Chain A
Amino acid sequence: MDRWILIAATLLALCGSVRGMLAVHRGRRSRSTVFWMGAALVCQMVFLWSRGQHRGVCPLKDLGEMLVFLSWSLTVFYLLIGPAYRISLLGVFSAPVVVVFQAVALLPGVLQADPQKVSGGNAWHEMHSATSVLAYGALALAAVAGVMFLVLDRQLKEHHLQSGLFRSLPPVRELLVSLQRLLWLGTGLLTVGVVAGFLMPHDKEAIGHLLTALAVWSGYVALLGVQTVRGLTGRRLALLAVTWFILSLGVFAFI
């Protein structure tokens, strides 16, 4: 059953992605992306609730659950931030990311078919997992905003201004403001996650994981520090936000 709900969520995000891209190709605003992503969010919540019931704790016990939780987080932040900052196109860019994450979660063996109840859960552990994944959702969206900025920057630099995509992209300054706010939000949540990680009972094996989390957090803090104190060009800020997100996601996939 869980699997079917996740398939539905993935198809809904795929619809949002395809319809959004078609609208952009025609040079029009993608008004339906919010609806499709909202429907995908409902399915993600049903899936996570169902897994949580089986686990008895926050459903972050296998890679599949983490990917779905991350997709949920990304979708929530998009729905909160996209309409507020008039950047509906953020949905067109984030929907494919959600589709990829959830498609990977649907691969055989990634999602445990029979989730086992977890006994002896710890509140710090739960908080570490939940806030870290939420943080990654905000940072993923920051990376998406970064990609949007890089596309727009290139088009403006090279004077290629005729595409539907160019007309649909929000202004440079709005993208940079959104990118910075998402980085602050993600780093704030990550701070809570890292602190909770060190406070939770952990054995020697978890030290590597926690130190990696600390390194990722330090990278984001350094990025925001340099941006605030010295300033960074939009291109560097966007490139660093995208690169650091991919790197940190890659590192955690192997730990």
Chain B
Amino acid sequence: MELLCLGLNHRTAPVEVRERFAVGNTKLGEAAHELTALDGVAEGVVISTCNRTEFYLVAPEAAAAFALLESHLSAKTRLHTEAAAHFYRLEQSAAARHLCQVVGGLDSMLLGETEIFGQVKQAYQAALDAGATAGVLNRLFQRAFGVGKKIRTETSIQQGATSVGNVAVDLAEKIFGHLKDSEVMVLGAGEMSRITAQSLVSRGARSIFVTNRSFDRAQELAAEMGGAAVRFDEWQHVLERVDVVISSTGSPHAIVHRADVEKARHARKYRPLFFIDIAVPRDIDPAVGDIEEVYLYDIDTLERLADEARGRRQLQIDECERIIDNEIAKFQLPGIP
């Protein structure tokens, strides 16, 4: 018996091809079961995320099994010769190694991301529930999850936020801990501030105030995030109660000046205040950062921190590969040399 993997991902196929092969979460078990219905295929697991669709199977002969699977997929997707160019075909230990890389986030578009671990687990569970797995794939996936955990605990490939929004949210948590006791004000209803504010809400921020020159737009964004809209000439009053200010207006000059914050300090009892300035030109006067309890981060600083985290993750790749090599050597899967 041979372990095989046939798949396509963000590197080998454009989204218009990937979407044709995508399998919904609720259909993963059924798709795995369909694999085992193919002639000679003993076991099967289907992994499908927005960036990849992969078919793991155990069959007696690789070439025949790949041909059978490709013809099955062609029939399902109505893509014929053009689809074959986007597939990668891996056999035996190369397939096992690839699964470990996927689980560890090494093959992801965002290097080291952790979501894939859960997605693979879900795909495996669906195949298991559908009765599509047995000795080889059960052991392979269990081992791969072990490798994923090892990569997470023994390397720093998953550490540090790699996007501006996540860096800002991580910093907010470093300052305030749980965000459930924190209030946020959004200055300017642009896309970047919306994304960052939503990240804060998803991590538990207690309430959101949105202000914008166009009050209608502020109301729209506030409604979207379950917050309250504030008229643009009243944001200074809200400053007295909030913990985080996200600013991303299109103003050609600074909107928040040191004097505005100084006025609010006494009412705030000098509590820490976190300013995230993602506007260009900057909305917040850099002198605001000189106030003792204020932590001010502009777009360049946030970009630099995200870049550094990405760089650190790149440096961890060799260490992760070494862990995978060591673990693959210990696998001893039936039929896999």
Contact = CB atoms under 8 A, between A and B. Distances in A.
Chains A and B form a bound pair? yes
Interface of A: 27, 152, 156-157, 159, 161-162, 167, 170-174, 176, 230-236
Contact of B269 (A152, A161, A174, A230): A230
B271 A231 contact: yes
B269 A172 contact: no
Contact of B177 (A27, A157, A171, A230): A171
B174 A156 contact: yes
B292 A235 contact: yes
A157 B290 CA distance: 9
B311 to A, nearest CB: 10
B308 interface: yes
Contacts of A170: 177
B282 to A, nearest CB: 15
A161 B295 contact: no
A171 B269 contact: no
Question: Which residue among B171, B173, B174, B293 has the maximum number of chain A CB atoms within 10 Å of its CB?
Answer: B174
Contacts of B289: 157
B272 A159 contact: no
Interface of B: 156, 159, 171, 173-177, 181, 266, 268-272, 289, 292-293, 295, 297, 301, 305, 308, 312
B268 A231 contact: yes
Nearest to B305: A161
A121 B312 CA distance: 63
B173 A171 contact: yes
A167 B158 CA distance: 13
B176 A233 contact: no
6 contacts: A173-B176, A174-B177, A230-B266, A231-B266, A233-B293, A235-B292
Nearest to A228: B269
Contacts of A230: 266, 269
Nearest to B153: A28
Nearest to B297: A159
Contacts of A174: 177
Contacts of B272: 172-173, 176, 234
Given A27-B159, A159-B305, A231-B268, A172 B292 contact: no
Given A159-B301, A170-B177, A174-B177, A233 B292 contact: yes
Contacts of B297: 159
B254 to A, nearest CB: 19
A234 B156 CA distance: 31
Contacts of A172: 174-176, 272
B326 to A, nearest CB: 20
A231 B269 contact: yes
Contacts of A171: 173-177
A28 to B, nearest CB: 9
A26 to B, nearest CB: 9
A90 B289 CA distance: 28
Contacts of A231: 266, 268-271
Contacts of A157: 289, 295
Nearest to A27: B156
A27 B301 CA distance: 22
A234 B293 contact: yes
A148 to B, nearest CB: 13
Given A156-B175, A173-B176, A162 B156 contact: no
Contacts of A159: 297, 301, 305
Given A159-B297, A174-B177, A236-B270, 5 more contacts: A159-B305, A167-B159, A171-B177, A172-B272, A173-B181
Given A162-B308, A235-B293, A173 B269 contact: no
Given A231-B268, A231-B269, A235-B293, A173 B177 contact: yes
Contact of A173 (B156, B159, B175, B301): B175
A234 B175 CA distance: 12
Nearest to B271: A231
Contacts of A162: 308, 312
A236 B269 contact: no
A195 B270 CA distance: 33
A69 B289 CA distance: 43
B292 to A, nearest CB: 4
A170 B147 CA distance: 29
A50 to B, nearest CB: 42
Contact of B270 (A152, A156, A233): A233
Contacts of A233: 270, 292-293
B159 to A, nearest CB: 7
